[in-house]
Structure 1
Amino acid sequence: MSTQPSEDIDRPDKPSAPATSDGFVRGISQAIGGPLGSHAVKPDARRGRFWTATRIILALTCLTLAFSWVQKSPCQSGDWQQNTQYTRFCYTDVLALYYAEHLNEGAVPYKDWPVEYPVVTGYFMGALGLPIHSYGQDHPEINQGTWFYNTNAIILSALAVATAAIILALRRRRPWDAAIFAVSPIIFFTATVNWDFLAIGLAAVGLYLWAKKHPAWAGLFLGLGGAAKLWPLFILGPLLVLALRSKSLRSWTAAMATAAAAWAVANFPVFYLYHESWLKFFRLNSDRPIDWGTLWYIGRYLDGKWNSGAEGDQGPFQWLSNHVPQLNLLSYALFGLACVGIGLLAWLAPRRPRVAQLSFLVVAAFLITSKVWSQQYVLWLLPLIVLARPRWGAIIAWTVAEFGYFTAFYAELMGAGGKPVIPEGTFVLASSLRLITVAVLCGLVIREIWRPELDPVRESYDDDPDGGPLNRPDAPWIAGLRRRFRLDRSPTPTPADPPAPPVVAKV
């Protein structure tokens, strides 16, 4: 039976340098002389050095977000002529929905207009949009849309910086892991495309509180995150299977109870007072057809290529596209099967997997099987992969694929008016590469769960730095389950050999 050490996870006795621990960074570092030598004198942050790793990471995050704001600036006026929002890659739902959701007319979300987002996002939109509209009524010289976008950008950027700070707090021995998040082109292009950082920031706080052994407070923030975007609630699944493995079900129950309460309290006013508006989010997601760039979109394209096109001749993906209820059931079933597989992996692995590893796998499985995969959903995966597998090489390859999809998607939007910009096959190729690279990341995380000696985070921590209440010995049934699957290959103890007779020297 494997056990889990319970040393203090904050003891900074195993610091990690990326140029030493990461093969990709080690190779790049050769251009400047290679990694720092083992006998080199290392600067001590406690002697008054201002530019510590933490401050550098936070400064880089702010710099990336500032560049992102500049990149979106051509769209801030709202005067989108000749597809400016696509040719400049500056489209943002935040500005578009200020008008589409009638916030510019003073409409109260859900009361006066059925907003298509979960309630915390709707509250956030109203809390910023309604005062700006009221101020604009008295000051007609201001551009309300620009003010609304910039106010949202400031708060969403603050949440992104807070997420970087939480990654740093969770990886005190590995601060440079957070640089993957801080300088990511994913943040540069998508930080303010939608309100996703609202849910990401809440989920990050929840993970931090769980790591610090405050499960009830962790559940509160995960529940609020789930009321902003659904995916933070998925983290409760990995916490459950790990709690069962480590006999920590009481902590998980506390987190689940507060998450459910937070989600219910946030939803209840709209559910009770404006029930039809509350249902819009669920109905929209139920009725939506296959969206651009998904697994189902790729399959439908291949159906069209492989089938003759005769009347009544259609492949399975095209059939699913025409029968959305069946598509929903299949999508949910595949996601459920993926979750079952992840749960079995968590129980059969030789060591208890880390929270971030399983959380990444669950959220990635949801995106891979979903019929909707919007461009900004990539932000959901970024902090999770940094915590789950902080290796630069594979993440850079995934980022390149995401950038390829980003550009192809905007070309597809420009071609939606009737004049194609790129061949449809090019867009499908970009979509496929994005899906493949996410699947490769999942495979690499699974390999490190199955072979924990390959896990870079375990090089610096004796146990899961995000585990909190989970950092306990395995439940006895785990060893029995592994034996049932013939995975416990520890040798059967044998009786000790009898002692050899003493040698008597002959004189």
Structure 2
Amino acid sequence: MTRSTSLPGPAGSVARAALPFVPLGLLAAVGAILAYAWKAPCRFGGAWNDGTQQFLNFCYTDIYPLWWNEKLDQGVTPYFGHPVEYPVGIGSLMWGIQKLVTGTSDPGVRFYDLTVIVMAVSLVAGVVIMVALAGLQGRPWDAAWYAVAPALILTAYINWDLMCGALSLGAFLAWSRRAHFLAGVLLGLAIATKFYPVIFFGPLLLLALRTRKLSPFLWTLGGTVITWVVVNLPFMLLAFTGWKRFYVFSSERGADWGSLWFFFQNRQWPFLGDAARLDTLGIGSFALLCLGIALLALIAPTRPRLMQLCFLVLAAFMVTNKVWSPQYVLWLVPFAVLARPNWKPLALWQVAECWYFFAIWLYLVHVQSGGEALGIGDGAYFTAVWARAITIAIMVAFVIRDIMRPEHDIIRQGGVDDPVGGVFDGAEDRFVLRAPTRPVVREPAPGPS
């Protein structure tokens, strides 16, 4: 007789339910530790204080220099004493950690360390939430991509993006469980931390229109607006000049590192490289891609899954943005995996992102005075810029193919519809932009004469 190794009864059920969460949560903790170790030449070797060495050791972070750049070292309160170039979610975290490290030895390093702890917790939380989302799709182990993706380890602690990622994923978990107002609250907090999650309302609206399930969408929108206003209003009323710095800075900045617009301007392309047209080109191209996504969502033979549309709109935003920092890969990893968990294009994209990570720092060494012999020039750098854009385009093409031909969608095998879609899962189409399929009328077989 074969002896079972599983626990019987309720204890066994709990163990089986916890199985993906515990090892993947621990794997995320390993990823967080590896990301911290990657910064060792700067954190422990002093390379942050050398403009060239921090690039040659590939351990640059925004967090450490912002201790001084945002005047936190002077005891100034963000927004009230100094305008901060980040939304209030990040500024508030800066202020809280500033209070904890002021008066300690080497407070700049302590500021970095405590910020990293928050980001590490955000990574673990984000991976655990993604386990739940991927588990709804029958593939909980796909969350390992988010836990230890190579590009994640390289970029995890450049900025505060992991915190926004956890909030965004939490919002979609709430949506999948039909807690629509809570989804809105979490999206409001995410938008108050990094502004990009506002674009997720596009996919939600498109699917709400196609299914005519507008009430859940409006509840989520209401939760987002209320939360964002509650979080931002005190700063708007009491420190408006400091509060608006992020929005003014975002609108006024030019084409920056990593963006395709930076390539066009560097190479002086006609029209596309015109700096005076940058805002028009960026907004216009993003709007055009969003229009294409909207048409795709409303003409597809089968309603697209929510994660597919979220991935497409986020990819469109990144490719058309004026800035494409290395850590933006953190935005896309979970949505790319949830949209199409196929390892080959994901691995190709990770290679391109890692290539870009090393290329940007070597390029910055090159453009610094006297660094030409150590870094790389325009040709190698812009090859890396285009490599990640092309690999994302490849993933986009596969997702579009899956939408137009759902039999190729890995998630939809076996009659599954949209398990992360909440109210959209199994919903009937009510509004489409294609002509209805006419039933085939078969002529009866002729009978005996």
TM-score, normalisation: structure 2: 0.91
Indicate if the aligned counterparts of 2:282 and 2:320 stay in contact, CA closer than 8 A.
yes
Match for residue 292 of structure 1?
257
Deviation at 1:263, TM superposition (A): 1.2
Match for residue 351 of structure 2?
400
Indicate if the aligned counterparts of 1:209 and 1:215 stay in contact, CA closer than 8 A.
yes
Unaligned runs of 5+ in 1: 1-40, 305-314, 503-507
Cα distance in 1 for residues equivalent to 2:238 and 2:95: 16
1:31-52 Cα distance to aligned partner (Å, 9 max, x none): xxxxxxxxxx998584868994
Note the 1:273-422 alignment, pairs <5 A: 273-303=238-268, 315-318=270-273, 320-321=274-275, 323=276, 326-418=277-369, 419-420=371-372, 421-422=375-376
Equivalent of 2:37, from 67, 70, 73?
70
Q: Tell me the amino acid that sits aligned with residue 362 of structure 2.
A: A
Cα distance in 1 for residues equivalent to 2:411 and 2:403: 11
Cα distance in 1 for residues equivalent to 2:111 and 2:158: 13
Indicate if the aligned counterparts of 1:180 and 1:392 stay in contact, CA closer than 8 A.
no
Unaligned runs of 5+ in 2: none
Report the count of equivalent residues: 435
Cα distance in 2 for residues equivalent to 1:472 and 1:73: 49
Q: Tell me the amino acid that sits aligned with residue 391 of structure 2.
A: T
Q: Is the counterpart of residue 175 in structure 1 residue 115 in structure 2? A: no
CA RMSD of aligned residues (A): 2.3
Equivalent of 1:430, from 380, 384, 393?
384
Indicate if the aligned counterparts of 1:118 and 1:227 stay in contact, CA closer than 8 A.
yes
1:42 and 1:363, CA in 2 relative to 1: closer, same or farther beyond 3 A? Answer: farther
Match for residue 107 of structure 2?
144
Indicate if the aligned counterparts of 2:406 and 2:412 stay in contact, CA closer than 8 A.
yes
Deviation at 1:56, TM superposition (A): 2.4
Equivalent of 1:242, from 207, 212, 230?
207
**Is the radius of gyration larger for structure 1 or structure 2?**
1
Cα distance in 2 for residues equivalent to 1:203 and 1:460: 29
1:278-314 Cα distance to aligned partner (Å, 9 max, x none): 221111111111112211122234436xxxxxxxxxx
Using CA pairs below 8 Å that are at least 6 residues apart, which structure has the higher relative contact order? 1
Note the 1:489-500 alignment, pairs <5 A: 489=437, 491-494=439-442, 496=444, 500=447
Cα distance in 1 for residues equivalent to 2:146 and 2:415: 20
Indicate if the aligned counterparts of 1:270 and 1:278 stay in contact, CA closer than 8 A.
yes
Q: Tell me the amino acid that sits aligned with residue 445 of structure 1.
A: V
Deviation at 1:444, TM superposition (A): 1.1
Match for residue 212 of structure 1?
177
Equivalent of 1:188, from 131, 139, 153?
153
Q: Tell me the amino acid that sits aligned with residue 469 of structure 1.
A: V
Cα distance in 2 for residues equivalent to 1:338 and 1:240: 16
1:247-301 Cα distance to aligned partner (Å, 9 max, x none): 2100000001111111112111111111111221111111111112211122234
Cα distance in 1 for residues equivalent to 2:414 and 2:81: 53
Cα distance in 1 for residues equivalent to 2:304 and 2:5: 34
Range that drifts further, 278-287 or 359-368? 278-287
Range that drifts further, 357-366 or 459-468? 459-468
Q: Tell me the amino acid that sits aligned with residue 122 of structure 2.
A: L
Indicate if the aligned counterparts of 1:246 and 1:472 stay in contact, CA closer than 8 A.
no
Range that drifts further, 458-467 or 101-110? 458-467
Q: Tell me the amino acid that sits aligned with residue 380 of structure 1.
A: W
Q: Tell me the amino acid that sits aligned with residue 217 of structure 2.
A: W
Q: Is the counterpart of residue 441 in structure 1 residue 395 in structure 2? A: yes
Indicate if the aligned counterparts of 2:211 and 2:427 stay in contact, CA closer than 8 A.
yes
Match for residue 117 of structure 2?
154
1:287 and 1:175, CA in 2 relative to 1: closer, same or farther beyond 3 A? Answer: same
Cα distance in 2 for residues equivalent to 1:230 and 1:444: 27
Indicate if the aligned counterparts of 1:174 and 1:460 stay in contact, CA closer than 8 A.
no
1:350-396 Cα distance to aligned partner (Å, 9 max, x none): 11111111011111101111111111111100111111111111011
Cα distance in 1 for residues equivalent to 2:244 and 2:17: 52
Match for residue 57 of structure 1?
24
